[in-house]
């Protein structure tokens, strides 16, 4: 008996979340003695959703943990790499490939794809919001819209994508960071008085937790913002506007008014934090209107998946692929200055960047050899820093255009 409709870690690891046709294929191959045939299967993505030009690869750590112990070699691009579906020379970019007897991992394909398709979608949506916010602080508030079983995965993907923190307690704990949150309307409703609620928060919460007053419960935001500033004075770190859609009108204008009224009274130190139904476009507009930080929920936690697919490209050392796929083992070469990738057959020499002529670095590196992990797994914070460094290059390139 289980309480929730979720797979256990063991079931996932054994491949029990597979689509049935892989199981059947394995059975047939075993019966005919073909299951030990060595293949190379690579993972590439199709067109990205929402017309995204690039994606953030996420879920590689879990992929490695899934494949550990199986008789395979795995080569992968680093988690957090910003990739395009196609390389500069027009070849689909393999983000990962597996080498080994097909029968040993056929039943894992469903899980292999599922681990990176959703996480990469979330990380990409987060990275785009971070860019739209022009690198101002952004926090993940979206786990309430999704099944709680995957809350830590969603929080990790949002954080890796460049978010500054997550609201989920377990997600934050597994990443070794502190969860982030302000106060819900429930707190103010139970006190039936904003000022009493804000003061109680200040009284009870330890000093390291920033005082962020929710200022849209009973009155107009600019009135409540001033009330909060007068109540908590220099201790007030920020006001949060989570204005309901029915009252929102021109939200950017509301933010400008709040800023004006706070500044007029000398509360220039009080930041403006906005949340509620935000997406990339809204974050950009509200950031330009003066919002300092953002809580983004469903738009990121429910991000479209990136449709990765796995295909065999080599059998017993010989290149072979289905229509629409390029055969053979490949290497992805990157220019770290231009973020340009070139895909070449594995035996071709290292190319030079077609744009800046600099040396290119190989991106597909061994992560598992004979079932053993042969790479150091970076922390979520290290992966996030890698993403942010690439986002800065993208932001710079956009400015030049």
Q: Interface residues with Zn ion (CB under 5 A)?
A: 335, 337-338, 353, 355-356
The span from the CA of 354 to the CA of 311, in Å, is: 28
Q: Tell me whether residue 183 or residue 338 sits nearer to Zn ion (CB atom).
A: 338
Give Cβ neighbours of residue 231 (< 8 Å, ≥ 6 apart): 195, 198, 199, 213
Closest approach, Cβ 329 to Zn ion, in A, equals 25
Q: Cα torsion for 363, 337, 287, 198, to the nearest 10°?
A: 60
Q: Tell me whether residue 201 or residue 333 sits nearer to Zn ion (CB atom).
A: 333
The span from the CA of 398 to the CA of 375, in Å, is: 34
Closest approach, Cβ 274 to Zn ion, in A, equals 38
Are 85 and 93 in contact by the 8 Å Cβ rule? The answer is yes
Closest approach, Cβ 339 to Zn ion, in A, equals 8
DSSP 143: G
Beta carbons within 10 angstroms of residue 116's beta carbon = 26
Closest approach, Cβ 340 to Zn ion, in A, equals 6
Rounded alpha-carbon distances, angstroms, from residue 396 to 225, 383, 399: 35, 20, 5
Q: What is the DSSP string of 243-284?
A: --HHHHSSHHHHHHHHHHHHHHTT-TT-EEEEESS--HHHHH
Closest approach, Cβ 396 to Zn ion, in A, equals 13
Q: Tell me whether residue 356 or residue 377 sits nearer to Zn ion (CB atom).
A: 356
Q: Tell me whether residue 88 or residue 141 sits nearer to Zn ion (CB atom).
A: 88
Q: Tell me whether residue 77 or residue 138 sits nearer to Zn ion (CB atom).
A: 77
Rounded alpha-carbon distances, angstroms, from residue 174 to 38, 90, 203, 216, 379: 36, 39, 29, 33, 10
Q: Tell me whether residue 347 or residue 357 sits nearer to Zn ion (CB atom).
A: 357
The span from the CA of 158 to the CA of 146, in Å, is: 14
Tell me which residue has tokens 């060595």. Answer: 38
Closest approach, Cβ 338 to Zn ion, in A, equals 3
Q: What is the DSSP string of 77-114?
A: PPTT-EE-SB-TTS-BPPSEEEEEEHHHHGGGHHHHHH
Q: Tell me whether residue 246 or residue 357 sits nearer to Zn ion (CB atom).
A: 357
Closest approach, Cβ 342 to Zn ion, in A, equals 10
Q: Tell me whether residue 338 or residue 394 sits nearer to Zn ion (CB atom).
A: 338
Closest approach, Cβ 356 to Zn ion, in A, equals 3
């Amino acid at each position: 008996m289980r309480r929730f409709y979720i797979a256990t870690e063991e079931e996932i690891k054994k491949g029990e979340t597979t689509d049935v046709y892989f199981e059947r294929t394995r059975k047939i191959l075993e019966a005919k003695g073909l299951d030990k045939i060595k293949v190379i299967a690579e993972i590439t993505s199709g067109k990205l959703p929402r017309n995204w030009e690039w994606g953030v690869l996420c879920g590689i750590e879990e992929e490695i943990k899934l494949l550990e112990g199986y008789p395979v070699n795995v080569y992968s691009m680093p988690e957090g790499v910003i990739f395009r579906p196609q390389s500069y020379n027009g070849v689909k970019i393999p983000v990962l490939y597996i080498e080994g007897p097909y029968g040993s991992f056929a039943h894992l394909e469903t899980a292999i794809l599922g681990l990176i398709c959703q996480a990469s979608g979330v990380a990409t949506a987060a990275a785009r919001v971070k860019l739209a916010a022009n690198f101002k602080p952004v926090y993940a508030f979206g786990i309430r819209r999704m099944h709680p079983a995957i809350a830590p995965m969603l929080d990790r993907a949002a954080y890796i994508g460049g978010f500054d923190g997550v609201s989920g307690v377990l997600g934050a704990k597994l990443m070794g960071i502190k969860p982030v949150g302000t106060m819900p309307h429930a707190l103010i409703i139970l006190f039936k008085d904003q000022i009493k609620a804000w003061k109680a928060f200040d009284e009870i919460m330890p000093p390291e937790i920033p005082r962020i007053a929710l200022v849209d419960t009973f009155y107009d935001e600019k009135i409540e913002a001033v009330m909060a500033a007068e109540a908590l004075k220099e201790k007030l770190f920020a006001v949060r506007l989570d204005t309901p859609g029915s009252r929102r009108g021109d939200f950017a204008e509301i933010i400008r008014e709040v800023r004006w009224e706070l500044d007029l009274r000398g509360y220039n130190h009080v930041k403006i934090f906005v949340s509620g139904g935000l997406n990339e476009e809204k974050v950009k507009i509200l950031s330009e209107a003066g919002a300092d930080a953002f809580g983004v929920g469903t738009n990121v936690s429910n991000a479209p998946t990136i449709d990765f697919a796995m295909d065999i490209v080599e059998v017993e050392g010989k290149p072979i692929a289905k229509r629409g796929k390029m055969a053979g083992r490949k290497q992805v070469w990157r220019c770290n200055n231009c973020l340009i990738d070139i895909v070449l057959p594995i035996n071709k020499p290292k190319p030079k960047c077609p744009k800046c002529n600099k040396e290119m670095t190989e991106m597909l590196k061994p992560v598992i050899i004979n079932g053993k992990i042969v790479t150091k797994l970076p922390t979520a914070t290290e992966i996030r820093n890698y993403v942010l460094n690439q986002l800065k290059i993208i932001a710079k390139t956009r400015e030049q255009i």
